[in-house]
A and B are shown apart, each in its own frame.
Chain A
């Protein structure tokens, strides 16, 4: 349900405004709304002074430093349930200094670790060459004043090496030598040592042949690969120690300042909220006015607390509902513990407007019921219940997984109940074991099942229309009357149809048709010319509930086919295996399809009749708390 709100006005001497704001922040009850300021009235909208604006900019910078520093140190604070203690001005000065220093140091350390990781990755890229060229480097040292080229050739191009040798001989004569070494990757490492005067010509040849030399990283260069390799190996040995040292410094930084910065984050957010609340107040030269919404059940708490703290200096008055009825009051949903998980399903839509209806209790009843009737199998229900229990056991409170497990519970319960009604236990295994349907056998009695599905649709849609009337009757009585006529016409159409197919006595038919003819002009007058189309659409909505029967029959048919596998295949073991596999597939489908279609029946058919989205979330002015983890 949507809890009742009261709009209150708080008045007091202007110099007490900061104190009152702090008290309200501690209470965390009032959803602030800027008071209406009419031209010519002595009331002005309050604004931040120059020093407050400067303080806000400064705090935003401090907050950016804190967030960046904590992120660098991988310190993500858990959702705090307690508001942070109010900080002194000296604390903010210290935190600004610490946050800036920690951020700078943490960024430097992270950069250092990244550079070390990149350097290590670079050296490791060369590692396979080290082994290959180490054997060849001996040869390089035998050629003083020579130039060496280090080249990799694909194994499949090994035939090109004699050609290269021939080309070099033709170009520069005998002033070169080629050494080869096969690599584990299948490539061949080539060391080409050339007398210095011929180097230029060799480079041209290599360029023409598009042969690329293995580049030596600049930081280890200055003497070719022969000189670079020992330097790179030495550096590779030093990197882990340097990285560990940087990590230790990072951890020490987190240990020394993490907790303090986490506290600072809360306090800075709180102070910023306090500053941002100032423009939501109105002031005269000597007084302030604050307005906002508070849950009606908490109004007394708010008034008592302010009275206890400020006595007669601050007054709290309730604004009568007539004055704010047309305004957007904030919305907070409050449902019993068992129904609360279903708020997640309603939460897919924007919040309902204040003064309309929260559909959560209806979703909590009809969603599991539709799901259960579609799956309708004791065996599947038990398996689903076990899955729900497992998910509940392994999930943390307040996470999405925990909510899902709490929705699975009622769904499993309704599935088991429907399973007994239809006499199904893993398809027709139940009937083979003597389980009798309490209602009817879905496998055979499709028409009764169809009638059940459409009847559920009638109940659900009429309930939706009734809720639509209830949610509009106070603010828009004419619209509510139109909806009422529409609802009566739907009932009359159903009565006429039932009388026509002799489910009801024939005597119902004529009065129902006369009633329709009388109601039709009233509908046009109240709802306009599109009303008949909407009426037809409502009848289509009712027929849409036939999907409950269709999915239910598909589910039982697949289960029966799965059971037939046992006898259909020669080997009993293989047959059982196939049957289990089929049941697994059917169960997976049973989890997905009925969920989607039960949701669709709610979102499209049911909500369309009364749901009025666009509510403003109730956000009381209070202490900042970090966002909760998603799962």
Chain B
């Protein structure tokens, strides 16, 4: 297989797999946060941060993809 295709595929997977993991994590955190907010609305800032925490995975995936493409 062409090296360019393999590189591109690797970069795509580097983003796609953490993106799926992030989505799964956020799908679990979302309902929990919604339930917590229903009881304690003052936790709104914490709630946003909790949602943002799994995004680290996809962000690091993006960085790896960039490193693969622009090495």
Chain A residues engaging chain B, CB cutoff 8 angstroms? 348, 446-447, 450, 543-544, 546-547, 549-551, 553-554, 596-597, 599-600, 603-604
Contacts and interface: CB of A to CB of B under 8 A. Distances in A.
A600 B53 CA distance: 8
A549 B55 CA distance: 14
A421 B44 CA distance: 34
B48 interface: yes
Given A450-B63, A549-B63, A550-B59, A596 B70 contact: no
A543 B46 CA distance: 22
Contacts of A597: 52, 55
B71 to A, nearest CB: 8
Interface of B: 45-46, 48-49, 52-53, 55-56, 59-60, 62-63, 66-67, 70
Contacts of A450: 63, 66-67
Given A446-B70, A547-B56, A604-B53, A348 B62 contact: no
A348 B56 contact: no
A447 B69 CA distance: 10
A544 B66 CA distance: 15
B48 A348 contact: no
A79 B36 CA distance: 32
Given A446-B70, A447-B67, A547-B56, A604 B62 contact: no
A551 B66 CA distance: 13
B42 to A, nearest CB: 10
Nearest to B58: A550
A483 to B, nearest CB: 24
> What are the 6 closest A-B residue pairs judged by CB atoms, nearest first?
A550-B59, A547-B59, A546-B63, A550-B62, A348-B45, A446-B66
A546 B70 contact: no
Contacts of B55: 547, 597
29 contacts: A348-B45, A348-B46, A446-B66, A447-B67, A447-B70, A450-B66, A450-B67, A543-B60, A546-B60, A546-B63, A547-B55, A549-B63, A549-B66, A550-B59, A550-B62, A550-B63, A551-B59, A553-B62, A553-B66, A554-B62, A596-B49, A596-B52, A599-B45, A599-B48, A599-B49, A600-B53, A603-B49, A604-B49, A604-B53
A553 B61 CA distance: 13
B33 to A, nearest CB: 13
A551 B70 CA distance: 17
A347 to B, nearest CB: 10
Nearest to A592: B48
Nearest to B46: A348
Chief secondary structure at chain A's binding surface: helix
Contacts of B59: 546-547, 550-551
Given A546-B59, A597-B55, 10 more contacts: A447-B66, A549-B63, A549-B66, A550-B62, A553-B66, A596-B48, A596-B49, A597-B52, A599-B45, A604-B53
Contacts of A596: 48-49, 52
A130 B18 CA distance: 68
Nearest to A554: B62
Nearest to B60: A546
Most chain-A CB neighbours within 10 Å: which of B45, B60, B63? B63
A550 B53 CA distance: 15
Nearest to A345: B45
A600 B66 contact: no
Most chain-B CB neighbours within 10 Å: which of A447, A600, A604? A600
A422 to B, nearest CB: 16
Contact of B56 (A447, A544, A549, A553): A544
A600 B49 contact: yes
Contacts of B62: 550, 553-554
Nearest to B69: A446
Nearest to B50: A600
A553 B15 CA distance: 14
A599 B53 CA distance: 11
Contacts of B53: 600, 604
A261 B48 CA distance: 42
Contacts of B45: 348, 599
B12 to A, nearest CB: 15
Contacts of A550: 59, 62-63
Given A446-B70, A450-B66, A600 B60 contact: no
A498 to B, nearest CB: 17
A220 to B, nearest CB: 44
Nearest to B42: A348
A348 B50 CA distance: 14
A596 B67 CA distance: 25
A164 to B, nearest CB: 50
Contacts of B52: 596-597, 600
